[in-house]
C-alpha cells in the first residue's frame, strides 16, 4: 500500500475525514502498517497503552477477561475505526484485548505521534473527546438497563 493509498484509507476514518491531506501524510508516515490473520491479537488487556490503532480493513473483537477468568467479547469494531486511544490518553494499562475477527490491515500510531497529532489538529482532539463521551453515555445506558433487569428479577 502506497502512502497515497494510506492517506485515502485514513480519510475513510471518521476522525480523519476532514483533516488536511498534509497532516494525513504525516500520520501515515509516522505510523507502522501491519497485517494480522483472523485470531491475531492487536493488543492485550493489561499492557501499557503505548499506541493507538487505526483499523483500515477487516473487523476486530474487543474482549475482556472476567473475574472468573472467562473471555467475554463486549464489542465488535469495523474497518475505518480508531481504537486503543483510551489507554494512551489515560496513560494506563489497556482495559481490553483486541483480537482480529477477520484478516486485518491496520496502522499503529505511537503515543508520541498521537499526542503530537492532537496538538497539531485541535479539531481531532475535539472529535476524540466527543467519541469518548458517546462511549461513556452508551456504557452508562447499558449499565442502567442491566441494573433494571436485575432489579426486576429481584437479583440486585
Q: If pLDDT is split at 50, 70 and 90, which confidence band does 33 have?
A: very high
Among 3.40.1350.10, 2.60.120.10, 3.40.50.1000, 2.60.40.10, name the CATH number for the domain at 3-152. 2.60.120.10
* Of 2 and 52, the one with more pLDDT: 52
Range scoring the smallest mean pLDDT among 9-13, 32-36, 93-97: 9-13
Mean pLDDT to the nearest integer, 29-58: 94
pLDDT over 90 (residue 3): no
Question: Residue 105: how many CB atoms within 10 A of its CB?
Answer: 18
- Which pLDDT score is estimated for 10? 86
Cell 475477527 belongs to 101
156 vs 151: CA distance, rounded Å: 5
For residue 14, the cross-strand partners are: none
Q: What is the residue extent of each domain of the chain?
A: 3-152
pLDDT in tens, 146-156: 888 888 888 87
Identify the residue whose cell numbers are 476486530. 60
Query: Residue 16 pLDDT more than 80?
Result: yes
**Eight-state DSSP code of residue 10:** H
Residue among 8, 109, 103, 2 nearest 57 (CA):
103
154's torsion region: left (phi>0), alpha (psi -120 to 50) or beta? Answer: left
Amino acid at each position: 500500500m502506497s502512502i497515497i493509498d494510506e492517506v485515502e484509507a485514513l480519510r475513510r476514518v471518521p476522525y480523519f475525514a476532514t483533516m488536511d491531506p498534509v497532516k494525513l501524510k504525516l500520520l501515515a508516515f509516522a505510523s507502522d502498517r501491519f497485517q494480522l490473520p483472523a485470531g491475531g491479537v492487536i493488543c492485550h488487556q493489561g499492557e501499557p497503552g503505548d499506541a493507538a490503532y487505526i483499523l483500515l480493513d477487516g473487523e476486530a473483537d474487543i474482549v475482556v477477561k472476567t473475574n472468573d477468568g472467562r473471555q467475554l467479547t463486549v464489542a465488535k469494531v469495523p474497518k475505518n475505526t480508531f481504537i486503543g486511544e483510551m489507554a494512551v490518553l489515560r496513560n494506563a494499562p489497556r482495559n481490553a484485548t483486541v483480537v482480529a475477527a477477520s484478516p486485518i490491515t491496520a496502522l499503529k500510531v505511537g503515543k508520541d505521534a498521537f499526542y503530537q497529532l492532537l496538538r497539531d489538529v485541535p479539531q481531532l482532539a475535539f472529535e476524540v473527546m466527543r467519541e469518548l463521551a458517546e462511549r461513556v453515555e452508551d456504557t452508562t445506558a447499558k449499565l442502567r438497563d442491566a441494573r433494571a433487569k436485575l432489579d426486576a428479577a429481584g437479583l440486585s
